[in-house]
Chains A and B, each alone.
Chain A
Amino acid sequence: MTHIDTVYRFGCILAEGKNFPANPQLSQQEKAPLCSLAIHCEICMNELIAELKVKLIALLDLTDITPETFDENARLIGGDLGIDSIDLLEMVVMIEKDYRVIINNQEIGEKVFHSLTTLASYIQEHLPGDAV
């Protein structure tokens, strides 16, 4: 995986506000201008977290919180929000659908869904097409 790939993909997510192309066929030249964004990877991560907050509030109907009050480092499952194993699976479906990242192992799932930050990191690391 390269930073360029990561940056490119999140660039697309930000640009479109949702999904990215499944198999972007970009030449090295086309990717090159994005290199300057590599140093802003942390910003991309923050944007992904912000996006996930909005998605999860809608997906799980979390009416008690707003993106502003959603603590990305708080315990996600079994915490104050009342998110349980069914919600976890609902998130698994959404993440596969919207990011094409598959989480089908319970043990991995428990680590991935520890907090919003760990979830965002996992998505970022496992975006498809990455040269792992």
Chain B
Amino acid sequence: MTSAPVYIASAGIISPLGRGLAATEMALRENRSAIAPLQVFPLLTASPLPVGQITDLAAQSSLPRTHQLAREAAMLAMRDCPEPPDAIILGCTTGGILTTEQLLRDGVADRKAYSHHSLLSVAEEVAQACGCTGPALMLSTACSSSAVAIALAMSMLRAGGMRRILAGGVDALSRLTYFGFHSLQLVDQNGCRPLDASRQGTTVAEGAAMLLLTAERPSAPLAVLLGAGLSCDAYHPAAPHPEGRGAFKAMQAALADACLQPQSVDYINLHGTGTRDNDLSEAKAIHALFPALPLLSSIKGATGHSLGASGAIEAVAAGIVVSRGIVPGNTGCNLADPALELKPLTAPLDREVRVVLSNSFGFGGNNGSLVIGRADLPSPSPARKARRPLAVHGFTCLTGAGLTADTLARLSAGRSAAGMMAMELLGTGLPSRFIRRAKRLPRLSLQLAASIAEETGEREKPSAVFMGTGWGPLSETCDFLTKLSESSEQFPSPTDFVGSVHNSPASQIAILLGATGANVTASGGDYSFEQALLAADSLLEDSGQSALLLGADEGHEPLSRLLDPSIAPGGPLADGGGALFINRDPAGACCLIGLPFYARDTGGNLSATLIRSLGGAKSVEEDFAAIFAGIPDGMSDRGCRQLADFLQSLNRQIPVCRYRDFLGQFASAAAVAAVLAAGYMEKGMIPGSILGAGDLILERGRKILVLGTGRFLTAMELYRP
């Protein structure tokens, strides 16, 4: 465990409390609640519930609210930094859904209109706005999304190689979350009053916050990021563990990461949503961890709960706390619930604070805690050590042809495995009570998890889950919106809402496998699996921890065709996924896996930098036996050009297979390609049927390159230890 700090060089925030640090600080000092009846979109029947909203956003923008908020916050954070960040890492739950909801209601069939639906498009918008050409990652772990994004950014900066990362989160109000929380009876009609004895729920809100994180100390940092801890309840899709098991684990891990004891914490910024269950389980976890309670409060009575943005908004608030010496009050709490045995601050307090613990917990029991310290805290010198590469100890895939054996057989026979496995065949062997609520994506994901658990057998179970999904649970999302509109907004389905969150499949896997470690879902379009791999490589411990790394997507009529620009119009739908059992122990591994290259294509020739990052043309020619290239149908011109540029820079012809041609067009086809590569590594041979040539013997030391093309260019490599 390293205690190397990461600096919060600057921050941008836009929340219902206002824009920028000064306005936010003033609102916190005034103990003012910004919660008010919904105005952002019209309702068909009921009268508006209280929300936290930003009322002065440009209405005529061509961008969805989410993108506007993210862009504004990013510009604020980058105001004094002339150089672009090396990477963007955001957390978000619903992307451009508010716009999509209206388009679907209006029956708009033009695919272009949906181009800002995806979560990734928000990260791309920010990358474009600040000229970032590195990875633009999008994490979606419900209400802990941006806390997890900050934790990942911190890990990547500590690992070296990057100097600056813009990390943060954003969410805009939408019908999906507004009615979703209402259907779960989690909305307080009077506005949220965290910790209050009469609290009846939360208040859905919107906002964005971005933090420019640096590995080296800037001249005047806002604060230091001392540690982060991630965990998963592995308990229930929506309700927190009643004893706060996961919350305890996340806080404990964050303090251990910061090399601090509980008594070093001066103030806890609570997740404190105002729901009866959250506040109670968080209180129990705090009592279990802290022998003496520090100052504590939740600011959600002032801001409302901005879901995926809340972790970043509250990290910025923590930065204000340590830099300005003000501790916010627990706005809205009049009489603290005696059952919680907590004494939240009823009013703001002028107080020097050195260390803040900030909690964010999400659906699926996905938890993230951050430790933020005052900028003048003594900073130990970075103790960076090179980590061992990720080792693959098991693999499984699912395609239109079936599970791994069927897929491999189909491909060896020279036939395509593209298609969609029949729904009734998915989830076989899993207890029906486990999968009865699961629609297509969670079923695909659970099937992959069960299949790999069966394959790895008695070996240790994975404690962490890293999942990539380009589009999330489309069936649940579509069904929720359809029922909402068909019932004139009266009868939204709570089951579909809980199922629609992008981390729902990964959190169900955690329950299936009892995986209580980090549980991270990346929602990065065609590069989702690569993003999950990057997260795993940054967050997986050096020893004693194994993880399930997977990518999965569902084909959905009509949403896949409307939303996914990588699917060519009229083409057949395909889906599936791939999963790897990984740790950092090379002994007995079938191969090692890494991600040496990830960049946004801004029009220049990327192949030179790609080749450089692979060790130069000579190494590429010598090391790589084959290239598996992912070229999305809808972007084939660009993808083919990128591939050709790369191949032209080499003196030796390396056999290439375009895997989407026989796996189908879906965002996580890259996960299946990685599984095929691992399988062929283990066998020591790639069948000629997929290379359009003879069988290719893989000598020891030879690698397979899995390229991702399109708006980004990515390169995974798999090789035997």
Contact = CB atoms under 8 A, between A and B. Distances in A.
A92 to B, nearest CB: 8
Contacts of B493: 90, 93
A30 interface: no
A121 interface: no
Given A89-B494, A90-B493, A61 B436 contact: yes
A85 interface: yes
A100 to B, nearest CB: 11
B452 to A, nearest CB: 24
A106 interface: yes
A87 B236 CA distance: 12
Contacts of B239: 84-85
Interface stretch (B365-373, B374-382, B484-492, B707-715): B484-492
A106 B493 CA distance: 17
A86 B498 contact: yes
A63 interface: yes
B493 to A, nearest CB: 6
Interface in B479-517: 487, 490-495, 498
A60 B436 contact: yes
Interface in A54-111: 60-64, 81-82, 84-87, 89-90, 92-93, 96-97, 104, 106
B443 to A, nearest CB: 12
A96 B183 CA distance: 12
Contacts of A87: 437, 495
B609 interface: no
Interface of B is mostly: loop
A86 B487 contact: no
A87 B237 CA distance: 12
B238 A64 contact: no
Using C-beta atoms within 8 Å of the partner chain, give the interface range for chain B.
20 to 34
Query: Which of B236, B433, B434 is most buried by chain A, counting CB atoms within 10 A of its CB?
Result: B433
Contacts of B490: 97
B184 A89 contact: yes
B237 A86 contact: yes
Interface string B205-224: 00000000000000000000
Interface in A7-21: none
Nearest to A98: B491
B651 interface: no
Contact of B185 (A63, A84, A97, A106): A106
Interface string B19-38: 00000000000000000000
A84 B488 CA distance: 27
A83 B399 CA distance: 31
B495 A97 contact: no
Contacts of B495: 86-87, 89-90
A86 B184 CA distance: 7
B432 interface: yes
B491 A97 contact: yes
A64 B487 contact: no
A85 B491 contact: no
A85 B433 contact: no
B570 to A, nearest CB: 33
A68 B1 CA distance: 58
Contacts of A61: 436-437
A82 B494 contact: no
Contacts of A92: 185
A85 to B, nearest CB: 6
Nearest to A89: B494
Contact of A96 (B184, B236, B491): B491
A44 B437 CA distance: 31
B32 to A, nearest CB: 30
Contacts of A82: 433-434, 436
A85 B487 contact: no
A46 B465 CA distance: 47
B432 A64 contact: yes
B492 to A, nearest CB: 7
B437 A86 contact: yes
Contacts of A89: 183-185, 494-495
A62 B494 CA distance: 17
A60 B434 CA distance: 12
Nearest to B200: A106
B238 A86 contact: yes
A44 B494 CA distance: 30
Contacts of B432: 63-64
Contacts of A84: 236, 239
Nearest to B495: A90
Contacts of B237: 86
Given A84-B236, A90-B493, A90-B494, A63 B436 contact: yes
A104 B183 contact: no
A64 B494 contact: no
Nearest to A87: B495
Interface in B237-286: 237-239, 276
B276 to A, nearest CB: 8
Contacts of A62: 436
Contact of A93 (B434, B437, B492): B492
B314 to A, nearest CB: 26
A81 B436 CA distance: 11
B498 A93 contact: no
A82 B213 CA distance: 45
A85 B238 contact: yes
Nearest to B186: A89
Contacts of A90: 493-495
Contacts of B487: 97
B185 A104 contact: yes
Interface string B417-436: 00000000000000011101
B260 to A, nearest CB: 36
Nearest to A81: B433
A104 B237 CA distance: 21
Contacts of A81: 433
Interface in B418-467: 432-434, 436-437
A131 B663 CA distance: 63
Interface string B310-334: 0000000000000000000000000
Contacts of A85: 236, 238-239
Query: Which of A60, A61, A92 is most buried by chain B, counting CB atoms within 10 A of its CB?
Result: A61
Interface string B85-107: 00000000000000000000000
Interface string B228-241: 00000000111100
Contacts of B491: 93, 96-97
Contacts of B236: 84-85
Contact of B494 (A63, A93, A96, A104): A93
Nearest to A85: B239
A27 B495 CA distance: 42
A65 B237 CA distance: 23
29 contacts: A60-B436, A61-B436, A62-B436, A63-B436, A64-B432, A81-B433, A82-B433, A82-B436, A84-B239, A85-B238, A86-B184, A86-B494, A87-B437, A87-B495, A89-B183, A89-B184, A89-B185, A89-B494, A90-B494, A90-B495, A92-B185, A93-B183, A93-B491, A93-B492, A93-B493, A96-B491, A97-B487, A104-B185, A106-B185
| A-B residue pairs, 10 tightest by C-beta | A82-B433, A89-B494, A61-B436, A97-B491, A90-B495, A63-B432, A93-B491, A64-B432, A86-B495, A86-B498
Interface of B: 183-185, 236-239, 276, 432-434, 436-437, 487, 490-495, 498
Given A90-B494, A97-B491, 20 more contacts: A60-B436, A60-B437, A61-B437, A64-B432, A64-B433, A81-B433, A82-B434, A86-B184, A86-B495, A86-B498, A87-B495, A90-B493, A93-B183, A93-B493, A96-B491, A97-B487, A97-B490, A104-B185, A106-B185, A106-B276
